[in-house]
A and B are shown apart, each in its own frame.
Chain A
Amino acid sequence: MEGNSTNNQDFDDLKSLWQSQEVEKTYDTDEIFKMIHRKSVNSVQWLFIITLIEVLIGIGLSVWTFISGKNLYINENMKVASEEMLTKYENFSHLGLVGSFLIFGITYFYYKKISSSLSVSELMQSIMKFRKIVVGFIILWVSITLILSIPYMMELSAQIYLHTPKAGHLPENDAVHMAKKVGLIVTIVTAVVILLFSAVYYGIIYGVFLRRLGKNLKELKSIE
């Protein structure tokens, strides 16, 4: 009991010491006015901006494909691919774009919900949700790329193999069998390359910001 009252006395002293400090008014209204027109880009904003840029690039490519009638997949090798397969691939790409739009909309919704005037724990929850959405966006984007590429790569590389002189010398059944094997190997290599590229790209771009947010959130979590 006595210890407790000594404690309170100590802290009352600290409180009065704290309140006896005077803070100079270092900024005048003109300087404060300049501050409110300063551009602010914090980690959450950066994450949002990167997501926005990615979606805009996707839209840009789609619009360009639509207007010019060209697509990125046409080159010499692609001539072996059937028209049907290319159309299917393009349709899936558009579906992926719609998915990105949806994710972007959700990201925007959660981004807008983050406000400095929330309580500390509400702010933490909002940022946590935003982080989850961004991670979801990454997983969806990489999955779509993989799912779209696997059947396409398998068929395309098999077709390319069948058009090589080597395949021409083989009996038809053997050539088809070999083409399937080549297709599988090329697909596995492509999938690994996509995964590696995604790991490096998202690891660098998003990883930096997510780690920074994570560090602060860890501190905030101790409130719970």
Chain B
Amino acid sequence: MNSKELDFTQLIKENQGIVHKVCRIYTDTPEEHEDLFQEIVLQLWKSFDSFKGDSKFSTWMYRVGLNTAITLIRKKSKSLAFTSLDSEHVFHLKASEYDEEKEERLKTLYACIKKLNDVERALVLLYLEDLPYKDIAETMGISEVNARVKMNRAKEKLKEMMNPNYGGK
């Protein structure tokens, strides 16, 4: 492993949670999750040289990860080089904050996010990750005002779906 590869793999290892979150909102099965994870890491590697450090590494990861997820054709069956990974077990509440009700709510939140369209999913992810609107707009390539408008619509949809009386309309 040369020094560039070493730096890259270390950075990905430390920030892999971002990639896992992107994968979880765009895939339905552990196989798809893993497949998308590998594809995002590969795309991050390919564009690693273009990362100039003018934005945070994590912001750049969101951008590449979301672009890859949105444009990737999800292959349903594929031979995998890695042991299958159950995405349900990758995510859990921090031990100090564990609460069964919260865990259920988190699952519902993921399920509702998956009902949004691809672009809205990206917006909601960036919002929940607490990125400032300036970074969200930059990642999506739209104006800050437009990002706020789109976000409000996505949030409205999400709120409606999170409502216990929502019947999957």
Name A residues whose Cβ lies closer than 8 Å to a Cβ of B: 7, 10-11, 14-15, 17-29, 31-36, 38, 40, 42-44, 115-123, 127, 212-213, 216, 219-220, 222-223
B residues less than 8 Å from A23 (CB atoms): 16-17, 20-21, 90-91
Per the bound structure, the CA–CA distance linking A119 and B66 in Å amounts to: 10
Chain A CB within 8 A of B3 CB: no
Q: Known contacts A38-B38, A222-B119: does B138 contact A119 (CB below 8 Å)?
A: yes
Q: Give 6 pairs: A residue, B residue, CB < 8 Å, sorted on A.
A: A14-B128, A15-B127, A18-B129, A29-B6, A119-B141, A223-B150
Contact A219 B70, beta carbon cutoff 8 Å: yes
A residues less than 8 Å from B10 (CB atoms): 29
Closest CB-CB distance, B54 to chain A, in whole Å?
Answer: 11
Interface size on B, residues (CB 8 A): 67
Contact B141 A20, beta carbon cutoff 8 Å: no
Partner of B94, one of A22, A120, A122, A127: A22
Q: Known contacts A36-B45, A115-B50: does B60 contact A21 (CB below 8 Å)?
A: no
Partner of A21, one of B5, B89, B91, B155: B91
Contact B118 A216, beta carbon cutoff 8 Å: yes
Closest CB-CB distance, A35 to chain B, in whole Å?
Answer: 4
Contact A26 B130, beta carbon cutoff 8 Å: no
Contact A219 B16, beta carbon cutoff 8 Å: no
Per the bound structure, the CA–CA distance linking A149 and B50 in Å amounts to: 47
Closest CB-CB distance, A93 to chain B, in whole Å?
Answer: 36
Contact B102 A20, beta carbon cutoff 8 Å: yes
Which of B64, B71, B117 counts the most chain A CB atoms within 10 A?
Answer: B71
Contact A34 B81, beta carbon cutoff 8 Å: yes
B residues less than 8 Å from A34 (CB atoms): 81
